[in-house]
Chain A
Amino acid sequence: MILRYDGTFAGFLTAVALARERGVEPEAIIDQQPEQQALFAAVEEVATDRQRAAAFYGLLRRTLTPGALHTFRLAFRAAEPGKELLLFHFLQLGVVVGQQLDGMLAHERVVPVWKLARAVGREAHRYKGLVRFQHLDGDIWYAAIEPEHRILPLVAPHFADRFADQRWIIHDPRRGEAIIFDPSRRTWTDAELEVTGPLQLSNGERLFRDLWQRYFDRLAIEERRNPELQRQHLPLKHRRHLPEFDR
């Protein structure tokens, strides 16, 4: 059995709950069209069922520790083909052993999920520093990022707390997803977003962009020059939307 869900967290929980009810182990759980349809067993479409997902999530909350649950939520955000099956096995084990799961760091069903969670967690933390807002006409603060994993919802609370008085948007243009923050309601919403044409920068933006670039250039100590170390800390792939590297 191959289950296809819509890519959402609730959709995935629905798929896992469905497989558990039937007592079968799926060959795969996927969120897009399988590439070689013919080779596979029939693909079953899972319709996202919020109530069912919530019920199953309630079960997870009762059986797993908050730490294990957090690991699961992070790992789900990973851009890793086949992560769904790893998570399925992880949850199957977790539902049986419950709180013991935390002590099973070396277990073969735990290790890969834990690694994914760590990679996602690291990237989310890193992007708390790498999101760079530009001030646009109309008093909107816009930032584009291209992370490897789907970390937008993971960084949103941090920015909501930090910039509670700004109208800001953080955009993942590769995935066409964005979070948009409304300071009057202090909440953010998920949105699909595509930017067409150049951004209309405010006057202050041009001034501060220039100030920042000059400041950044002055900061490096010539005697300690070490571009390799710089690349180690900040790989080129993360520099695309940083004004100090965009001249």
Chain B
Amino acid sequence: MAEPTLAEKLEILADGAKYDVSCASSGSSRKGKGGIGNAAQCGICHSWTADGRCVSLLKILLTNVCIYDCAYCVNRRSNDIRRVMLTPAEVAELTIGFYRRNAIEGLFLSTGVIRNPDYTMELLIEATRQLREEYRFNGYIHVKVVPGADLALVERLGRHADRVSINMELPSRESLALLAPDKSRESIVGPMKRVGELIVQTREERKVSRKMPPFAPAGQSTQLIVGASGETDLQIISLAAGLYGRLSLKRVYYSAFISVNRDERLPAVVGTPPLAREHRLYQADWLMRYYGFAAGELLDEERPNLDLSLDPKAGWALRNLHLFPVEVNRADYEALLRVPGIGVRSAQRIVLARRGSHLSLDDLPRLGVVMKRARYFITARGRFAADLTPDAAGLRLRLTEKPLRRERWSQPSLFDGGAGMDIRSTITGEL
């Protein structure tokens, strides 16, 4: 076979990386300080593909060669596909070429495992080093840590990155053993812990001296495949809560399982990937991160899976009608946040606006409250907006979302707390 051209390699390696969901380019702020580029705190989308996902970073694999044989992965060893590799210099050159045209915010670099985890890590370090040191590139870099890599290499890599991630992919030890026999939970959690320590430690050191080089200032993230194994939503969001709490991850991504391999260990896939479930998980995740909900409030052993026809916040409100209605002129911020139809922004605006005036029902839509949902749960100046006293059964019907055609969910924001959207899935061709 002829030597592949740069364009062919790019196509193959973009194909192998596209199932990784992470595409946020937020959470890092760097002024252009000589050299080229900067990083915007809020993240920027540059385009949207035919599946409606945003394009923010050049998302590629360094190589799709892989010594592992994970059941769900397109690049697994046992698949007969064309294998190519970019040199670290080519990765840097492509990144800069696209960046100068303002087509991307930066680089998302993942890879198959070539030879062994440490050798692979050295290549990732070299690609990111060239960008930072030779091109003096200040744009965004998100790079994957290879499970099982030497912790000293993890540290070197993180010094060049804004964000690092290690994909867990499977929510339990059992599923991991079944579907990713070459990876152990320890080989994933070990580097995760080390990254967490270094992030905290570096942040402290940089308070004392700005000379200390940063370490993954935009934090670390991971990804879980939804629907390739038997875990319940409760297991998944409890795991996420643990990752946010104990390992202080910045972001957990969920990815509806897409079947790319025929494998008797995997569920038979009928129709489209479980996008509705993925969407509800993102909503639940959001509620835990920004709305003060605990995993146990959204789901329990009785009901271990999210309701696909109702958003989790409305579901929670229906089970807790005794807490409603709340009076918008008096309720504290935390209580406002828990009203369906009131979001972080509108709750903040209510708190601000009621200092200046006594709010009436008419003021609320202007503050961004979605009355269609909120009306059943609030009063303003003691007045109730809905035409019925809420009873769970009647309300449920009114709050149920009819799935329009296929999947028309507006998706969870891809920016940590900003605007913009992203949703996607993975069967990642990678770690």
Contacts and interface: CB of A to CB of B under 8 A. Distances in A.
Interface centre among A132, A141, A143, A219 (most CB of B within 10 A): A219
Interface in B346-360: 349, 352-353, 355-357, 359
A241 B7 CA distance: 23
Interface of A: 100, 102-106, 111, 122, 125-126, 128-135, 141, 143, 158-159, 161-166, 204, 208, 210-212, 214-216, 218-230, 232-234, 242, 244
B202 interface: no
Interface stretch (B30-38, B75-83, B221-229, B299-307): B30-38
Contact of B14 (A143, A215, A232): A215
B367 A105 contact: yes
Contact of B100 (A105, A166, A214, A227): A166
B49 A103 contact: no
A234 B48 contact: yes
A242 B406 CA distance: 28
Contacts of A126: 45
A232 B404 CA distance: 15
B51 A141 contact: no
A229 B52 contact: yes
Contact of B35 (A132, A165, A210): A165
A242 B44 CA distance: 16
A105 B353 contact: yes
B7 A210 contact: yes
B49 A220 contact: yes
B103 A132 contact: yes
B11 interface: yes
Contacts of B334: none
A224 B275 contact: yes
A90 to B, nearest CB: 15
A212 B424 contact: no
A103 B48 contact: no
Contact of A162 (B6, B37, B45, B97): B37
Contacts of A125: 42, 44, 419
Given A105-B367, A128-B40, A162-B38, A221 B31 contact: no
Contacts of A162: 32, 36-38, 102, 139
A133 B101 CA distance: 4
A130 B101 CA distance: 10
Given A212-B103, A214-B10, 20 more contacts: A104-B356, A105-B352, A106-B366, A129-B44, A129-B46, A129-B56, A135-B101, A162-B36, A163-B102, A208-B101, A211-B10, A215-B11, A218-B18, A219-B18, A221-B51, A221-B53, A221-B258, A223-B273, A226-B407, A230-B51
CB-based closest 8 A-B pairs? A229-B52, A103-B356, A220-B49, A224-B51, A220-B50, A129-B46, A106-B363, A226-B52
A211 B97 contact: yes
B389 interface: no
A211 B94 CA distance: 9
12 contacts: A103-B352, A141-B100, A159-B102, A161-B31, A162-B38, A208-B97, A212-B98, A214-B7, A218-B15, A225-B51, A229-B48, A233-B52
Contact of B50 (A111, A159, A204, A230): A230
Interface string B5-43: 011001100110011000000000001100111101010
A242 B48 CA distance: 11
Given A103-B355, A215-B58, A226-B407, A234 B37 contact: no
Contacts of B37: 162-163
Contacts of B407: 226, 229
Given A135-B101, A224-B53, A227-B50, A219 B7 contact: no
Contacts of A135: 100-101
Interface string B353-395: 1011101000100110000000000000000000000000000
Contacts of A225: 50-51
A26 B55 CA distance: 47
Given A129-B47, A233-B48, A224 B98 contact: no
Contact of B366 (A111, A122, A130, A141): A111
B207 interface: no
Nearest to B259: A223
Interface residues of B, number: 62
Contacts of A165: 35-36
Contacts, number: 167
Nearest to A130: B46
Nearest to B37: A162
Contacts of B353: 103-106
B47 A221 contact: no
A162 B48 CA distance: 22
B115 interface: no
Contact of B52 (A102, A211, A222, A224): A224
B55 A216 contact: yes
A68 to B, nearest CB: 13
Contacts of B7: 210-211, 214
Contact of A106 (B45, B359, B410, B424): B359
Contact of A100 (B6, B356, B366): B356
Interface in B47-74: 47-56, 58-59
Given A105-B366, A161-B31, A163-B100, A233 B45 contact: yes
Contacts of B367: 105-106
Contacts of B352: 102-103, 105
A210 B59 CA distance: 17
Interface centre among A126, A132, A158, A218 (most CB of B within 10 A): A218
A233 B101 contact: no
Given A212-B98, A218-B11, A223-B258, A228 B47 contact: no
Contacts of A228: 52, 408
